[in-house]
């Protein structure tokens, strides 16, 4: 099963950007994030890192350095943030699963706007080891998916304690897959009232009503002082974030997104007495909400106040008041992550745009609400998501043959250091990228100059396998495992994105390539279970078998070249 990650996850061999310009100067990560390792150990294949709002301080999915993540249902609209690329990639059927982070709503907002499922687990349930932080006391990591089954699969394999994240709890794995079809018998489901029924456009009201009807929910409960909880979350977010970035703010203020920089500057000037009050209120609010959960098991609330706004839209009107879009998209998510409650966003396929609903459970009891994810939308949202994957051409024979031939030509030129052929193959474009173990190159000119000065020695490699998957007629991903005699028993990997520009009359050309040195991957990385062979090829065979046993909707049926569709999306 292929998956992708928000680019605040460490990916071995790449700098962890966290959506920023500044982090591009960081050295390459020596090791994958814990959650990537656990996904790959279960047979998933990482295909890349995705766009995000700078340093995760964003609700729109717009990035001042790399451009916006676009909504797969309407590219003129926001994907939501800060995990915008993750929502866009899953909603657009580029991958069945993506990982993101959620501090104040950054999984739930893109899930709502892009019409997909998203899970923010209980605080401390999934390890954050080797991911770039934002607000340590509020940060959560979690998955996006187009189906409840894929969401549960990803969550289950990522569970488990991790001493490298001090906040990760030493709690045994609690599988959710067996609970999905148990339904909601015996669960006490309520609707959030008061604060959560204000500041809504009609589509958000309709979405909550539909999910409530499907779950038979009529009881209304009120989370006390939810508006103060959101205000306290703002204070803790901006002050912790400012403390984290203070050195960067002093040394490189002009390299920040101005909107992010200004909020961090403001956080640095908030008096400590306000932070102290916010933290004390946080404990009180947590106790009050947990007391509320003595009488209910699940609470429903809107995920966003509206469907996805237009990219660049500055203001919207809620309850007759014109408000700035960027800080107020998360008006209904912030009080929930403020106290670490587990919450899933489920999509409701309205027209013309989908919108999400939060299904909230008590701390460490999210698994009990698993049946709500499927029952809550009566299967309609899963069918809607599935329909978006039914008409994309996966591995068309002629396209696959063309890219395979081009890749073979590339490989021959690489090992022989045929600079002329390599220069011809790569697209002459300022957006062409190359990431290596010791260099990050941006634009064709930088890549060509690097290649011209590179010594020929050491380029010879032996390919273990290359998997090429084509999407439609104009996009392909090539994933290669390779060995070098200079690093016996170790495996390197390379990922390439090949793009065809039909208007230019071109064949497919690589526009991005990332590779990691065999020295970066000890062969034991491929063998996590005691007693298994240390042969990397044997481990690769096991990984293939694992993927085949749990084939995702995106790649199932590849052999018969089934028609599949992805709505247009940009996950830059």
What does the DSSP assignment read for 105-129? STTHHHHHHHT-EEEE-STTSS--T
**Residues facing residue 77 across a β-bridge:** 310
pLDDT digits (tens, 9 = 90+) for 219-233: 999 999 999 999 999
Strands (E), 311-379: 315-318, 321-324, 343-348, 355-361
- 453 or 115, greater pLDDT: 115
Domain boundaries, the chain: 2-387, 395-521
Alpha-carbon distance of 482 to 461, in angstroms, equals: 6
Least confident of 182-191, 278-287, 354-363, 369-378: 369-378
Structure confidence at residue 368 (pLDDT): 63
Q: What is the mean pLDDT of residues 290-296?
A: 95
CATH C-level class of 2-387:
alpha beta
- pLDDT attached to residue 315: 97
Token pair belonging to 535 = 């042969």
The catalytic residue positions are 6, 82, 106
Q: What is the DSSP string of 127-177?
A: --TTB--S-TTT-EEEEEESSHHHHHHHHHHH-S--TTSTTS--------G
3-state secondary structure 184-251: CCCCCEEEECHHHHCCCCHHHHHHHHHHHHHHCCCEEECCCCHHHHHHHHHHHHHHHHHHHHHHHHHH
Which has more confidence, 503 or 234? 234
95: preceding bond cis by omega (within 30 degrees)? no
Q: Report helix angle 258-268 to 226-251, nearest 10.
A: 100
3-state per-residue secondary structure call for 28-48: CECCCCHHHHHHHHCCCEEEE
Question: Which CATH number fits the domain 395-521, given the four candidates 3.40.50.1820, 3.40.50.2300, 3.40.50.10490, 3.10.450.50?
Answer: 3.10.450.50
Rounded average pLDDT over 85-91: 96
Q: Please report the pLDDT score of residue 503 as a whole number.
A: 61
In the structure encoding, which two tokens stand for residue 6, read together?
A: 């928000």
Residue 343 tokens, joined: 């919450």
């Amino acid at each position: 099963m292929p998956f992708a990650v928000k680019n605040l996850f460490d990916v071995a061999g790449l700098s962890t950007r966290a959506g920023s310009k500044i982090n591009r100067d960081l050295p390459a990560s020596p090791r994958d994030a814990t959650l990537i390792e656990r996904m790959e150990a279960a047979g998933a294949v990482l295909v890349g890192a995705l766009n995000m709002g700078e340093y995760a301080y964003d609700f729109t999915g717009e990035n001042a350095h790399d451009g916006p993540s676009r909504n797969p249902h309407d590219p003129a609209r926001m994907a939501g943030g800060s995990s915008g690329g993750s929502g866009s990639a899953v909603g657009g059927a580029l991958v069945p699963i993506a990982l993101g982070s959620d501090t104040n709503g950054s999984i739930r907002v893109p899930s709502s706007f892009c019409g997909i499922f998203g899970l923010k687990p209980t605080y401390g349930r999934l390890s954050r080891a080797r991911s770039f932080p934002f607000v340590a006391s509020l940060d959560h990591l979690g998955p996006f998916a187009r189906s409840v089954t894929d969401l549960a699969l990803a969550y289950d394999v990522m569970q488990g304690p991790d001493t490298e994240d001090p906040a990760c709890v030493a709690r045994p794995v609690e599988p959710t897959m067996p609970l999905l079809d148990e339904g909601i018998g015996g669960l006490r489901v309520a609707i959030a009232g008061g604060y959560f029924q204000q500041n809504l456009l009609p589509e958000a009201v309709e979405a909550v009503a539909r999910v409530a009807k499907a779950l038979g929910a009529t009881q209304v409960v009120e989370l006390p002082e939810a508006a103060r909880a959101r205000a306290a979350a703002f204070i803790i977010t901006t002050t912790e974030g400012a403390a984290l970035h203070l050195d960067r703010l002093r040394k490189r203020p002009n390299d920040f997104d101005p909107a992010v920089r200004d909020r961090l500057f403001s956080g640095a000037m908030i008096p400590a007495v306000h932070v102290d009050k916010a933290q004390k209120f946080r404990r009180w609010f947590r106790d009050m909400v947990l007391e509320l959960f003595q009488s209910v098991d699940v609470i429903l609330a809107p995920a966003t106040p509206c469907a996805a706004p237009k990219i660049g839209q500055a203001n919207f009107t809620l309850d007759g008041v014109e408000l700035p879009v960027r800080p107020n998209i998360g008006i209904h998510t912030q009080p929930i992550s403020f106290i670490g409650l587990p919450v899933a966003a489920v999509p409701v396929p309205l027209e013309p745009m989908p919108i999400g609903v939060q299904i909230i459970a008590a701390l460490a009891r999210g698994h009990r609400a698993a049946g709500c994810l499927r029952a809550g939308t009566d299967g309609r949202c899963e069918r809607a998501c599935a329909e978006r994957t039914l008409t994309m051409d996966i591995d068309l024979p002629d396209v696959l043959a063309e890219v395979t031939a081009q890749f073979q030509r590339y490989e021959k030129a690489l090992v022989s250091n045929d600079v002329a052929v390599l220069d011809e193959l790569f697209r002459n474009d300022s957006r062409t990228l190359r990431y290596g173990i010791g260099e990050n190159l941006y634009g064709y000119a930088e890549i060509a100059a690097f290649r011209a000065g590179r010594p020929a020695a050491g380029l010879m490699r032996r390919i273990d396998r290359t998997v090429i998957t084509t999407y439609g007629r104009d996009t392909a991903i090539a994933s290669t495992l390779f060995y070098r005699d200079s690093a016996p028993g170790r495996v390197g990997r390379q990922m390439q994105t090949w793009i065809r520009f039909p208007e230019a009359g071109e064949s497919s050309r690589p526009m991005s390539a990332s590779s990691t040195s065999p020295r970066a991957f000890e062969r034991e990385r491929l063998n996590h279970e005691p007693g298994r062979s240390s042969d990397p090829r044997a481990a690769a065979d096991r990984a293939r078998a694992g993927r085949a046993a749990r084939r995702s909707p995106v790649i199932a049926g590849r052999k018969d070249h089934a028609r599949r569709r992805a709505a247009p999306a940009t996950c830059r």
